[in-house]
Chain A
Amino acid sequence: MAALEVKDVTFSYDGVTPVIKDINLTLNDGELVCLLGVSGGGKTTLFNIIAGLNRPQQGKVLLNGEDVTGQSGRISYMLQKDMLLPYRTVLDNVALPMLIKGVKKKEAREKASGYFAQFGIEGTQHQYPAELSGGMRQRAALLRTYLFSGDVALLDEPFSALDTLTKGEMHRWYLDVMDNIRLSTVFITHDIDEAILLSDRIYLLTGNPGTITDEIVIKEPKPRRKDFNLTDAFLAYKREIISKIGA
C-alpha cells in the first residue's frame, strides 16, 4: 500500500477557476518524490490540501489507505522559512509537535534530544534559533517535521532560501539523514538540479490550472555518488525535464 495517495484532486479558491486540476500522485513507503514546477503553479496549494489546511472541491487524500481529506495534524509540513519560534530554544522548538500532541514536556525533550546528533545539530539544544546559521536552522526544522510524524513529510522548497554552498552541503546532509530514517517525503522545488539529485521520482506540475503532465523516475541508486550531478546520466535527466517543461 502506498504511504500517501492523492486522487483526482481539484481545487479553486473562488469556486470557479481551478488552481490545480485532476491531480493524482502516489508516494511509496520510504520514497522521496519531488513535485517540480514553476513558482505560482499551484504546488503550495496542493501541499495545503495534503496537509489538510484546505479541503479540495473534488478528490481525496489517503494516508496509508485512510481517508484524511481536510484533516490537519496528520501529515507534517516544512516550509522554506524555518519557522522556528524565536522565543523557544532549539530543543523546545523541535519538541513542540510532541507537546501539541499532549506528550509530557520532559519526555518530549528527552526524545527530541536523542535525534540531535543524527541530524547534525548536537550541542544546539539550549541555544535560541537566532544564534544558529540558516543551514542549522533548516536542520532543526526538518527534525521538528520528523518528530511530528514519522509517516509522511511535505517539504516546501526547504533549501531554496540558502546560498549555493550551504545548499550543496545541505543536500549531502539531507541524503545522509534520509538514508537512515527513510522518511516518506514529497518535496517541492523549482530547482531542476535539486530535484534530480534528491528524488526517486519527479512529478512535473505545469500549466494553468496546474496539472501533473509527466513523471520521471531517477534510476540512480541510493546512496548516490558524490559527483552524480556531474555525470552524463544526470545531464540526460536534466535535458529530458527541460524539454518536457518547455523551459
Chain B
Amino acid sequence: MSAKSRSTISKVALPILALLLLFAGWQMICSFTNVPKYMLPSPADVAKAFEKDWRLMFSHARVTLTETFIGLFFGVIIGFLMAVVMDRFSVVRKMIYPLVVVSQTIPTVAIAPLLVIWLGYQMLPKIVLIILVVFFPITISLLEGFSSVDPDTINLMRSMGASRMQIFRFVKLPNSLGHFFSSLKISVSYAVVSAVVSEWIGGTEGLGCYMTRVRKSFSSDKMFAVIILISVISLILIWLTGVLQYACMPWEKSKHQSRSHLH
C-alpha cells in the first residue's frame, strides 16, 4: 500500500471511528443509567424519531433551504459589490469598514426579533437576516483577495496599457477566487444556522419552527434528530461549495499534481 492511500484511509477512517465511539458511549449511558428520555434520548431513539417524522422534517427543510439559498444569493452579490466599491474608492472603505465590523458584533439573536417586527412573519425577515450574516465574510475576504495582488503584476498590467477595469477582470478577480470560496464555505454554514434562528422567532414553516414545536412538547428525540439533520445539510452545502470551487479553479488541480515533481 502506498503512503498516500494509507494516509487517505487514516484521514477518513479515524474520524469515523471517533464518531462511532461517541455514539456507542452515548447509547451506553442511556441504556445503563436512568436518564429520562426527555433529557437525553439514546441514539436509537433519535433514529426512530427521524424514521417516524422525516417527511415532515424534509418539508420544513425545503422552506429553510429556500431561505438559505435566496439569502446566500443576495448576500454574496451585496458582499461582492461592497468589496468592489471599497476596493475602488479608499474613502468609502475608510468610511464603512469600521461600521461593517461593528455590525458583526451585534448578535444575530438580538436582531432577529427586530426584523420580525419590521418585516413581518413571512420569508423576508429571514432572508434579510441571512444577508446580514453572509455578506460580511464575503466582503472581507474579497477585499483581502483584491489587495493581495502582487504590485509588480499590477505594474506589468499597467505597462501593457491595461485599464482599471481590465486589471480588475484579468488580475484582481481571479486572484481573489480562492479567498472567495474559503469565505463562501463559512457563509454557507452561517446561512443555514441564521435561517433556523430566524425561524425560532416567528413564522409557521421551516426547521426552526419545527424545532420550537418539538422543544415545547419535550420531544427531545425529535429535537436531536432535527439538530443532526441541520448539521448534515450544512456539511453537504460546504462540500458542494468545495466541488464548485474545484470546478471554477482548474489551475489549483494542476498545482497539486505538479507539486510533487517540482519540489
By a beta-carbon cutoff of 8 Å, the part of chain A in contact with chain B is 48, 51-53, 72-77, 79, 81, 83, 85-88, 96-97, 99-101, 127-128, 130-131, 133, 148
Quick check: B156 and A77 within 8 Å, CB to CB? Answer: yes
What A residues does B166 contact at CB under 8 A? 100
Q: Is B170 an interface residue (CB 8 A)?
A: yes
Q: Is B89 an interface residue (CB 8 A)?
A: no
Of all chain A residues, the one with the shortest Cβ separation from B250 is A128
- Which of the residues A73, A85, A131 comes within 8 Å of B174, measured between beta carbons? A85
Quick check: A53 and B161 within 8 Å, CB to CB? Answer: no
| Proximity bits, B146-162, A CB within 8 Å = 1, else 0 | 00001011011111111
Q: Is the interface of B mostly helix, strand, loop or mixed?
A: helix
Quick check: A131 and B258 within 8 Å, CB to CB? Answer: yes
What A residues does B153 contact at CB under 8 A? 83, 85
What A residues does B160 contact at CB under 8 A? 72-73, 76-77, 96-97, 100, 148
Quick check: A53 and B258 within 8 Å, CB to CB? Answer: no
| Proximity bits, B53-96, A CB within 8 Å = 1, else 0 | 00000000000000000000000000000000000000000000
What A residues does B171 contact at CB under 8 A? 85
Quick check: A87 and B156 within 8 Å, CB to CB? Answer: no
- Which of the residues A53, A73, A128 comes within 8 Å of B155, measured between beta carbons? A53
10 further A-B pairs in the complex, CB-CB below 8 A; given A77-B159, A101-B161: A53-B159, A73-B162, A74-B161, A79-B152, A85-B174, A87-B175, A87-B249, A96-B160, A100-B160, A128-B254
What A residues does B177 contact at CB under 8 A? 87
- Which of the residues B157, B159, B258 comes within 8 Å of A130, measured between beta carbons? B258
Of all chain B residues, the one with the shortest Cβ separation from A133 is B262
Please provide the chain B residues from 8 to 37 with a CB less than 8 Å away from any CB of chain A in the complex. none
Q: How far is the CA of A203 from the CA of B152 in the complex (A)?
A: 25
Quick check: A79 and B156 within 8 Å, CB to CB? Answer: yes
CB distance from B155 to the nearest CB of A (A): 6
Q: Known contacts A72-B158, A74-B161, A75-B159; decide if A87 and B251 are in contact (CB<8 Å).
A: yes
What B residues does A79 contact at CB under 8 A? 152, 156
Q: How far is the CA of A99 from the CA of B162 in the complex (A)?
A: 9
Q: How far is the CA of A195 from the CA of B190 in the complex (A)?
A: 59
Q: Is B255 an interface residue (CB 8 A)?
A: yes
CB distance from B230 to the nearest CB of A (A): 35
How many residues does chain B have at the interface if contact means C-beta atoms less than 8 Å apart?
Answer: 25
Q: Known contacts A85-B153, A85-B174; decide if A76 and B159 are in contact (CB<8 Å).
A: yes
Q: How far is the CA of A86 from the CA of B254 in the complex (A)?
A: 10
Q: How many A-B residue pairs have CB under 8 A?
A: 71
- Which of the residues A48, A73, A96, A127 comes within 8 Å of B170, measured between beta carbons? A96
Q: How far is the CA of A75 from the CA of B156 in the complex (A)?
A: 11
Of all chain B residues, the one with the shortest Cβ separation from A132 is B258
A selection of 27 A-B contacts at a CB cut-off of 8 Å is A51-B159, A52-B159, A53-B155, A53-B158, A53-B159, A73-B158, A73-B160, A73-B162, A76-B159, A77-B155, A77-B159, A77-B160, A79-B152, A79-B156, A85-B153, A85-B174, A87-B249, A87-B251, A88-B170, A96-B170, A97-B160, A100-B157, A100-B170, A101-B161, A128-B251, A128-B254, A130-B254
Q: How far is the CA of A83 from the CA of B152 in the complex (A)?
A: 8
What A residues does B250 contact at CB under 8 A? 128
Q: How far is the CA of A149 from the CA of B151 in the complex (A)?
A: 22
CB distance from B10 to the nearest CB of A (A): 28
Quick check: A73 and B152 within 8 Å, CB to CB? Answer: no
Q: Known contacts A128-B251, A128-B254; decide if A87 and B174 are in contact (CB<8 Å).
A: yes
Q: How far is the CA of A87 from the CA of B177 in the complex (A)?
A: 10
Of all chain B residues, the one with the shortest Cβ separation from A127 is B254
Quick check: B161 and A128 within 8 Å, CB to CB? Answer: no
Q: How far is the CA of A187 from the CA of B13 in the complex (A)?
A: 57
Q: How far is the CA of A53 from the CA of B251 in the complex (A)?
A: 30
What B residues does A128 contact at CB under 8 A? 250-251, 254-255
CB distance from A215 to the nearest CB of B (A): 26
Q: Known contacts A127-B254, A128-B251, A130-B255; decide if A83 and B156 are in contact (CB<8 Å).
A: yes
Q: How far is the CA of A79 from the CA of B151 in the complex (A)?
A: 13
CB distance from A11 to the nearest CB of B (A): 16
